[in-house]
Amino acid sequence: ETLPPPAELVTVADLRGLLHTHSIWSDGAATLPEMVETAARLGRYLGTGDHSRAAHYANGMSIERLRAYVREIRELQRSGLPLLAGAEVDILEDGSLDYPDEELLTLDYVVASVHSHFTLDAGRQTERLVRAVSHPLVTILGHPTGRLLLRRPGYALDLDAVLAAASANGTVVEINANPARLDLDWRYALRWRDRLTFAINTDAHVPAGLGDTRYGVAVARKAGLTPAQVVNTLSQEEFLAFVRRQREARTRG
């Protein structure tokens, strides 16, 4: 397959939104205003992604705290800050999500990620992720294999089956730009480039981490991705419209 020429590949400058970021609401080191201020200085809007309640080790938010978090984000939005309300919601052992749908619907978008039960056999792990990416309110699958470079391999699963389910459901797949993750691996992004939409996300836990986009962009360029294949090249309004269309298509389907 011939890939687009280098001049057509996605660049750091193409990214308009920094989705899947963390603040002191869970295990980040900075407040939401501090994170937004850094994103705005980079000329970008911030999409939040603090942890859900099952992620105890990461100060995951109870439903009460989730509601307070969304309230703070809405207040900051009203004051004119370029900000979207997201959460990184745990995929539970059976593939269901860590918050009920009515809470997920209060968010602008949802990243679903595995943070537990890494040792399930490949069949169960695959079923778990297929179920999660098929959920009508999941916008993005976060760090799909759970690998940490030089620290732990990804969990056992049939990744192609998970990516096929994401493709069938219009679920975006994350290229996690944290240099310790680089997950999705470029070889899978290359193989699935024409069937998936991707998000290049920093997963930043500190303001300086918002600069990690370049590592994710390097992965995306290796996979031959153009800006049109990366969802966070959209403006804030366009991204919200994308999520609306994604949700509507699923409720119709």
pLDDT at 238 over 70: yes
Please give the model's pTM, rounded to 2 decimal places: 0.98
pLDDT of residue 251: 83
Share of the chain above pLDDT 70, in %: 100
**CB–CB of 44/82 below 8 Å?**
yes
Look at residue 122 and tell me whether its pLDDT is greater than 70: yes
Confidence bin at 104 (pLDDT 50/70/90): very high
pLDDT in tens, 76-100: 999 999 999 999 999 999 999 999 9
Q: How far apart are CA 182 and CA 135, in angstroms?
A: 24
Average pLDDT over residues 199-224: 98
What would the mean pLDDT of 135-150 be, rounded to a whole number? 98
Alpha-carbon span 35 to 40, nearest angstrom:
9
Residues 150-192: tens digit of each pLDDT: 999 999 999 999 999 999 999 999 999 999 999 999 999 999 9
- Is residue 217 over pLDDT 80? yes
pLDDT at residue 253 greater than cutoff 80: no
Looking at per-residue pLDDT, the higher value among 252 and 68 belongs to 68
Residues 6 or more apart from 45 whose CB is under 8 A from it?
16, 17, 18, 39, 82, 83, 84, 235, 236
Q: How far is CA 232 from CA 5, 79, 134, 202, 242, in A?
A: 21, 23, 21, 11, 10
- Tokens 């994604």: give the residue: 246
Taking residues 11-25, what's their average pLDDT?
98
Above 90 in pLDDT, residue 231?
A: yes
Say if residues 118 and 155 touch (Cβ distance below 8 Å). yes
